Amino acid sequence: MIAAPPGVGGGAPRLDALLRLIRPPNVFTAFADALAGLLVLRGLGVAVPEGATAVILASGCLYLAGIVLNDVFDREIDARERPTRPIPAGEVSVRFAAALGVSLLASGVALAAWIGPSTGVVAAVLAACIVGYDAGLKRTRLGPLVMGSCRGLDVAMAISTGLSLDAAWPHVAVAGPIVLALYVAGLTYIARDEVDGNTARRARTGLTFLGLLAAGVVVALAVCPCLPRTAWAWPWVALAVVLGWRNWAPVWSRHDGPSTGRAIGGGIVLIPVIDAAIVAVAGSPVLAFAVVALVVPALILKQLFSPT
């Protein structure tokens, strides 16, 4: 019998290889997106429908699908740049990874559709963005915006469990997902040269964008008469800005591969803090602690598995 080449067969992989494939730290940031969306509804005084918490599981399925399918589509590039990843290393077969990714994607959309038609529509759009990004849009100029849209849609998917798509949404229900989408777009732009390091121009362009985004959010909140819905949101906004500065500022002068990689990992873990700030701005500053608590398992697992 002739053995299949590494990464080609369809057998089930070892658990440690599977965990490295799905990169467990990051899924908690997806949970944070969905929980934030539900808590935005709470802050707005909108009743959360029965069973809507299943959107957190749907969010996790869709996120993990994106991670797995990314490695399926990138297997040839990873063979050159990241040969220790499970697929190029032959620890997980392409067939198994593709089947896992498609199954997770379908499960996420099905769960969302079970919650309600609006949630199902948002999930379907999110799934299309995930596949489009992984399949090739990541290498175009639209790549960062598509990835950012995935994150924004993740929050919007949870919000849609209580707000119908055919009705006008409150300001924070629209602005919150957009702010997160723009942040992740900036992060993705900087992450494009994570392996070999950024040029000074790319790094500083991305950092300038993130700085302007932070400044724009603070100014908008200061002048908008309807936001934030409580003054207790300001400590959360300040926390997100300060932690963002501490994480990203070093990349301005040090943008080699390792420095960029550390900042990207920290920037991903920062997402639940931004989610918590959105929840606080929506009127639930105390419940925002539940969102930011999801940083803890992400940080613990970050010591065992690479988040990027």
* Spatial distance between the Cα atoms of 136 and 130, rounded to a whole number of angstroms: 10
- 3-class secondary-structure state, position 123: helix
* Spatial distance between the Cα atoms of 189 and 210, rounded to a whole number of angstroms: 10
Contact 29, 51 (CB under 8 A): no
* Spatial distance between the Cα atoms of 181 and 197, rounded to a whole number of angstroms: 24
Q: Of 276, 265, 245, which is closest to residue 176 (Cα–Cα)?
A: 276
Residue whose token pair is 């990241």: 82
Q: Is the peptide bond before 228 cis (omega within 30 degrees of 0)?
A: yes
* Spatial distance between the Cα atoms of 170 and 283, rounded to a whole number of angstroms: 12
pLDDT tens for the 308 residues of the chain, in order: 334 444 555 567 888 889 899 988 889 999 999 999 999 999 999 998 889 999 999 999 999 999 999 999 999 998 998 899 999 999 999 999 999 999 999 999 999 999 999 999 999 999 999 999 999 999 999 999 999 999 999 999 999 999 999 999 999 999 999 999 999 999 999 987 666 667 888 899 999 999 999 999 999 999 998 899 899 999 999 999 999 999 999 999 988 888 888 899 899 989 999 999 999 999 999 999 999 999 999 888 888 777 76
Contact 172, 229 (CB under 8 A): yes
Buried b / exposed e over 88-119, threshold 16 CB at 10 Å, is bbbbbbbebbbebbeebbebbbebbbebbebb
Contact 279, 287 (CB under 8 A): yes
Q: Euclidean distance between the first and final Cα of the chain, in Å?
A: 37
- CATH T-level fold of 17-302: Tetracycline Repressor; domain 2 (1.10.357)
∠ CA(212), CA(217), CA(154), 5° rounding?
A: 100
* Spatial distance between the Cα atoms of 121 and 141, rounded to a whole number of angstroms: 26
Q: Which residues contact 94 (CB under 8 A, 6 or more apart)?
A: 7, 8, 72, 75, 87
Prediction pTM value: 0.91
